[in-house]
Amino acid sequence: MDLHKALKSLFENRMPSDEDLLRIIDMDDPQLELELAAKADQIRQANYGKKVYLRGLIEVSNVCQNDCYYCGIRASNSNVSRYSLKPEQIMECCEVGYNLGLRTFVLQGGENFLYSDEILVKLIMEIKAKYQDAAITLSLGQRSRESYAKLKRAGADRYLLREECASKELYSKLHPSSMSFDDRLICIRDLKELGFQTGMGFMVCPPYQTTKDLVEDIKLMLEIKPEMIGIGPFVPHHETPFGKEKAGSVDKTVRLISILRLLFPKALIPATTSLVTLSKAGRYKGLKAGANVIMPNLSPVQLRSKYELYDGKVSTGIEAAEIIDNIIREVEEAGYVVSLERGDAL
Ligand code: SF4
């Protein structure tokens, strides 16, 4: 009964209490889970129709100065063969993506300063000059406000910086003491204030996470109001301190996508690669639960396996064109249509 009441308040566009959110996140009722996903899908269709936006992902570098305990490319993993794409290689990836119809390029990489402000500004301006109708999303970690401002002025449109978890206590269990949740939050606020369409996100079921922590994650997002929300299940990587931990729950992630869709009707929410890594039906389930973005990989095929954030990360070794054909098919099978528009947040 309490669960029905909790869902009712969520469906009627009322902010559920913390207790209600806990009940919904933890529910174990297949019929109600279907109802939750259907309601989220209805809200997504009311805002974005059946469109699924594609973002061309370019994994620019696996060099990272940080040592997050869950990440396969953390600095102290000496078994990673490191690479950083040169600006001209990134331009080549953009060209491939543009010719396939993609109108967003996501430049994602570990946190490093091999890409100085000067290099990035020049690169962003070059991409924007060549592909005037394309959007640029950056996902390059924490930088100074001044650096973000330069990147914005150069023409970057969006920035993804997942907070990973809103609980300081949990943050300190997932990261070394050199990394601070407060610093990360300052960066996220800076990005919002500077006018980036800002992406936040968190892992579902990393070690030590409680459902209360997930409620805190949702509340932090309600405060900051990101335009993009990327969540995915924790997937262990064997060369990290969490290598033997259990992978996160696909079903819980899918429920959270629906909850987030209902609380953020206009957000751009991807069906993430980690969902697909844990379940063949992960993308389908994510889309059916309210997700409306997919990020096909445009990185050079021979480098993709080096960007292994977690074990088994889906890296098919096929060319971008083939990946996109497969995605179009999957999206249509799920009852949606791929949109090649820029797909800015409403
Ligand atoms: S999660 Fe990001 S910041 Fe942390 S080690 Fe991996 S690439 Fe670096």
- Rounded CA gap, 166 and 146, in Å? 24
pLDDT value, residue 308: 84
Residue whose CB lies within 8 A of the most ligand 1 atoms, among 57, 60, 62, 64, for a mutation test: 64
State whether the beta carbon of 174 lies less than 6 angstroms from ligand 1: no
- Rounded CA gap, 37 and 32, in Å? 9
Q: Which two tokens stand for residue 64?
A: 């990272």
- Rounded CA gap, 306 and 77, in Å? 12
Q: Which two tokens stand for residue 115?
A: 């890409």
Answer whether residue 48 is part of any domain.
yes
Task: Confirm if 264 and 221 have CB atoms less than 8 A apart.
Answer: yes
Name residue 167's amino acid.
S
- Rounded CA gap, 124 and 147, in Å? 13
Burial of 232 (0-12, 13-18, 19+ CB in 10 A): buried
* DSSP annotation string for 306-340: G--SSTT-------HHHHHHHHHHHHHHTT-EEE-
Residue 197 C-alpha from the chain's centroid: 13
State whether the beta carbon of 60 lies less than 6 angstroms from ligand 1: no
- Contacts of residue 298, defined as CB under 8 A and 6 or more positions apart, other chains included, come to 56, 57, 58, 93, 94, 96, 97, 102, 105, 320
SS3 assignment, position 81? coil
Residue 75 CA to ligand 1 centre (angstroms): 8
State whether the beta carbon of 141 lies less than 6 angstroms from ligand 1: yes
Confirm whether pTM is higher than 0.95: yes
- Give residue-wise pLDDT tens across range 249-292: 999 999 999 999 999 999 999 999 999 999 999 999 999 999 99
Q: How many domains does the chain have?
A: 1
Q: Which two tokens stand for residue 31?
A: 């019929």
Q: Which atom of ligand 1 is the closest one to the Cα of 65?
A: 8
pLDDT value, residue 316: 60
Answer whether residue 74 is part of any domain.
yes
- Rounded CA gap, 135 and 276, in Å? 25
Answer whether residue 345 is part of any domain.
no
pLDDT value, residue 309: 86
Task: Confirm if 81 and 306 have CB atoms less than 8 A apart.
Answer: yes
- Give residue-wise pLDDT tens across range 306-338: 888 888 776 666 777 788 999 999 999 999 999
- Rounded CA gap, 167 and 224, in Å? 15
Q: For the chain, how far is it from start to end, CA to CA, in angstroms?
A: 35
- Rounded CA gap, 222 and 243, in Å? 32
- Rounded CA gap, 203 and 253, in Å? 9
Nearest 5°: CA angle at 49, between 332 and 286? 55
Residue 64 CA to ligand 1 centre (angstroms): 6
Answer whether residue 157 is part of any domain.
yes
Give the count of beta carbons closer than 10 Å to the beta carbon of residue 111.
Answer: 16
State whether the beta carbon of 66 lies less than 6 angstroms from ligand 1: yes
Domain extent at residue 88: 2-339
Answer whether residue 13 is part of any domain.
yes
CA separation, residue 38 to residues 41, 124, 254, 261 (Å)? 5, 39, 12, 11
Region for residue 290 given its phi and psi (left: phi exceeds 0; alpha: psi -120 to 50; beta: otherwise): left
pLDDT value, residue 195: 98
Answer whether residue 344 is part of any domain.
no
> CATH number for the domain including 297?
3.20.20.70
- How many residues belong to the chain? 346
Helices 250-263 & 211-224 angle (0-180, nearest 10): 30
State whether the beta carbon of 161 lies less than 6 angstroms from ligand 1: no
Q: Among candidates 301, 345, 346, which has minimal Cα distance to 322? A: 301
Task: Confirm if 158 and 192 have CB atoms less than 8 A apart.
Answer: no
pLDDT value, residue 313: 79
Answer whether residue 346 is part of any domain.
no
Tell the residue nearest (CA) to atom 1 of ligand 1.
Answer: 71
pLDDT by residue for the chain (346 residues), tens only, comes to: 699 999 999 999 788 999 999 999 999 999 999 999 999 999 999 999 999 999 999 999 999 999 999 999 999 999 999 999 999 999 999 999 999 999 999 999 999 989 999 999 999 999 999 999 999 999 999 999 999 999 999 999 999 999 999 999 999 999 999 999 999 999 999 999 999 999 999 999 999 999 999 999 999 999 999 999 999 999 999 999 999 999 999 999 999 999 999 999 999 999 999 999 999 999 999 999 999 999 999 998 888 888 888 887 766 667 777 889 999 999 999 999 999 999 999 9
DSSP strand pairing (337-339 vs 197-200):
unpaired
Q: What H or E segment, with its residue span, contains residue 177? A: none
Answer whether residue 203 is part of any domain.
yes
pLDDT value, residue 332: 97
